[in-house]
Structure 1
């Protein structure tokens, strides 16, 4: 069996460390050590820890951003309910897997601020899915499948906010279990459609 390429080993190590110790404590030095390479080698593939984090999100977690981009580029494909259900499903999985990675940032305000500034420079950050879903809903609005007066930004925030909440809020319940993702996504999509669809038969 051939050894994995260095870039793949770095991504694997970064993903594992970010999950186990959190983004704040997963240093590039520790990531390089876990990947079996030098820190200098890591920087041949990734410009910064933030760049590495973005690549972990893009290549190791559910593909939320590409899904939103492809739907916004071709509005009118499939049904609105089916598309929103798929978005909610991918978003719920994305937040479930990314929350343990990024949660440690929120304990250190200055570090979080520096990290978010770097992500914005890279064109990424936690605000992007909301913007991308808003863009998709506006594209559907332009062709008449979303009601003309609907607040697409609020709708995007509601759907993705619910998916983000699912990542941690339900751990505190007596059962300590998250709602099953498929049922959760379908219910979110149906409920959101009640407020934004242009007509009952347009979904």
Structure 2
């Protein structure tokens, strides 16, 4: 009998090459902006301070970003936990794996995303002009805070069509419930940081929160007869 030659073990992927030149400067600017926006807030963070923190000139900053609002969008997209990416993968997973597992993954990422970005985004509402400028940077038909619930609702709708979720449930309402729970959890963690009183954060761990929140969503809390 002919033996099949042994296959060599898969080789680990090579790490990406280190950034240099303009790419490195841009990365440092984003890192500096993320640190400042998270600590002193978006309103009080200036491009001059960001440039100083990044170790570059303000002129160099403007080669990569037109203004502070564009920097803020860059921080959300490239330095915050990738909630948009996690949600974008969901529709392709419809009919595969476990619905609960997919939703728990999104729940964990969403809590991290809101916890990191809440201090930055909250500054927008302290300045109507800044909020208007930020809205002007977005194509609100395809981008904006509504993306989370819309993408999640699209996934839930796809699972309904495959018969894996009840067709009686409004997917938009279910998506809003899950995203709202993640937002509230992040708010509580930030409000009571670093020492939340006992009983404030329940379930206690992030894994338990994701599991039990998704279970409550999928099983419901109605009276069984």
**Structure 2 unaligned regions, length at least 5:** 1-17, 221-225
SS of corresponding position for 1:168: helix
8 Å contact from structure 1 (residues 19, 100) kept in 2: yes
SS of corresponding position for 1:53: helix
What is the aligned-residue RMSD (CA, Å)? Answer: 2.4
The separation in 1 between residues aligned to 2:130 and 2:199, in whole angstroms, is 30
Q: Compute the displacement of 1:69 (Å).
A: 0.5
Matched, 1:54 2:73: yes
8 Å contact from structure 2 (residues 153, 172) kept in 1: yes
8 Å contact from structure 1 (residues 54, 124) kept in 2: no
Residues 190 and 162 (structure 1 numbering): CA distance in 2 closer, same or farther, change over 3 Å?
same
Matched, 1:109 2:128: yes
**Corresponding residue of 1:154:** 173
- When normalised by structure 1's length, the TM-score is 0.84
Q: Compute the displacement of 1:128 (Å).
A: 1.4
**Corresponding residue of 1:127:** 146
**Structure 1 unaligned regions, length at least 5:** 196-203
Matched, 1:45 2:45: no
Q: Compute the displacement of 1:124 (Å).
A: 3.3
The separation in 2 between residues aligned to 1:159 and 1:25, in whole angstroms, is 32
Count of aligned positions: 194
Residue from 181, 194, 199 that aligns with 2:219: 194
**Corresponding residue of 1:18:** 37
8 Å contact from structure 2 (residues 69, 133) kept in 1: no
Following superposition, which runs of at least 4 residues in structure 1 exceed 4 angstroms of deviation? none
- When normalised by structure 2's length, the TM-score is 0.77
Q: Which has the higher helix share?
A: 1
Q: Compute the displacement of 1:8 (Å).
A: 1.1
Residues 123 and 29 (structure 1 numbering): CA distance in 2 closer, same or farther, change over 3 Å?
farther
**Corresponding residue of 2:197:** 174
SS of corresponding position for 1:65: helix
